[in-house]
Chains A and B, each alone.
Chain A
Amino acid sequence: MRLKIHAKSRLLIALIVLIGLAPATAFAQTSTDAVTVTIDMDSASIVAGDWITFHTAIRNTGVSATPPLVASFNVASIRPGPHVDPEDWSPLRYQYIDAIQPGESVELEWEVHTLFEGDFAVYVTVVSQDNHFEPVGSPTLRVHAEPDNVLPLNEVIPVVAIVPLFPLALLLLTGRSKGKKRAAK
């Protein structure tokens, strides 16, 4: 059985839905349109263990001041591998920002310590401190970290094999000379 809905009723329903959703869409619309996050680098190719410094600019493009904001640093490994903990990768996981006036922007500096080799996506998200709008994310900074190869095996093996031979030789020499001391009759 088809439900027949009159045109007037349809209009009324649409109005109710619009009114109900208005606050949410207005905020979402406000966060998405009013706050933008930009980043000054889009890629970096380094050796694992190196530090990268980048900057993000958070701009209020809306007509009213933003609430106080929180910017958080995030990093994800693009490929499966060792667990990436953002707290290990940056000394400053969160930065707290006062309200930004319309048309103003705030620049933040971030330091990242690439702990191991791999491909990573680094990005910054911004939320309001009163949790009233959805997170806004920066573009991704793609980081490629080469292995550091601090200890190549072809250099390590001679050292670890040869160095202990010296005290061993000394031990054997002193063992022989000590053997000359005899027991009392």
Chain B
Amino acid sequence: MKENAETEVVLSAQSLHKSYKDMDALTDFSFEMRAGEIVGLLGPNGAGKTTAMRILATIFPPDRGEFSVMGIPHTRAEEIRAVIGALPESMGFPLYMTGEEYLTYMGRLYALSSRNAATKARDLLAVFGLSDAGDARIATYSRGMRQRLGIARTFINDPKLLLLDEPTLGFDPRGQREMLQVVRDAAVVNHAAVLISSHQLEVIEEICSRVLIMNKGLLIAAGSVSDVKQKFPVAPACRIEVSLETTQKALDILARMNDVKIERNSNRVNEFLISLSGRDATNSVNAILQNLTQAGVSIESFMMERATLSDVFLSMIEEAQA
């Protein structure tokens, strides 16, 4: 099958392995990414996400295994770096430079002429809302501004592969939304493949078409978000809101029921999240509603909760650690 721009394989990794002293940081790590894909990389602290990112960004060589970017083998690291953009977690900057000077410097290191690099720098500052701060020293930037600058830097060479490690750190909700839009545009408009590592699972769920879940250096799950949810089903849950006067009555009834676990909402005393651990969720829900109404509890709202990626992830990690 002939690959076109939308489906060409951008990144192919086979059996990557990396160990530090006695510890295996990455074991048998294999996956592929195609142009235009946005893939999430999840895992608890120490799972090996940053190691994987750094190997793919050619910061560290793998001990074993191989990978290629746009068909360039990992042994030609300088050529790979010319076509990727990477945002390390907690990246530092030369604080004496201004934002514009820094991006211009980076552009020149990516083979742009001084003029083109300066133009590109100004364009990126505008895209990431840093135009007004472009001639200010980076030392005076806030955390969020530095994060924007770091992301801007990843686009300096119009990369085919973006590796973003915790890109939303330091952003307020609006900034986060803007950043995600930029990432989407990179994938959709520029056909770049994007690999995002984040602890903010709602971000991953919103933007990624596929997820890779790691734990202790191993890839324990891979696939679309819905595939992963199906593979690791989480106990269904529903959210019930009752009238204030009948709150205690409802709690007493629910406490007497089997296969029901109640989680209170600290902000709203009359709202409960109920996890159903029985086999038949529908019957359980019917039983709950029937018992409550028969007791005279006034039900103000009821909603089945969709299992989030966060639920799936936590469940998966608990299972892996058990």
Contacts and interface: CB of A to CB of B under 8 A. Distances in A.
Q: Do chains A and B touch in the complex (CB under 8 A)?
A: yes
Interface string B137-169: 100111001000000000000000000000000
A83 interface: no
Interface string A157-185: 00000000000000000000000011111
Interface of A: 181-185
B98 A181 contact: yes
Query: Nearest 7 A-B pairs (CB), nearest first?
Result: A184-B136, A183-B140, A184-B133, A184-B140, A184-B141, A181-B137, A182-B136
B132 A183 contact: no
Main secondary structure of the interface of A (DSSP, over half): loop
12 contacts: A181-B136, A181-B137, A182-B135, A182-B136, A182-B137, A184-B132, A184-B133, A184-B136, A184-B140, A184-B142, A184-B145, A185-B133
Interface string B108-150: 0000000000000000000000001101110011100100000
A181 B99 CA distance: 11
Interface residues of B, number: 10
Contact of A181 (B132, B135, B141, B145): B135
Nearest to B132: A185
Main secondary structure of the interface of B (DSSP, over half): mixed
A185 B142 CA distance: 10
Given A181-B135, A184-B132, A184-B142, 18 more contacts: A181-B98, A181-B136, A181-B137, A182-B135, A182-B136, A182-B137, A183-B136, A183-B137, A183-B140, A184-B133, A184-B136, A184-B137, A184-B140, A184-B141, A184-B145, A185-B132, A185-B133, A185-B136
Nearest to B98: A181
Nearest to B139: A183
A180 B142 CA distance: 20
A26 B167 CA distance: 107
A171 to B, nearest CB: 16
Contacts of B140: 183-184
Nearest to A183: B140
Interface centre among A181, A182, A183, A184 (most CB of B within 10 A): A184
Contacts of A183: 136-137, 140
Contacts of A182: 135-137
A185 B99 CA distance: 13
Nearest to B141: A184
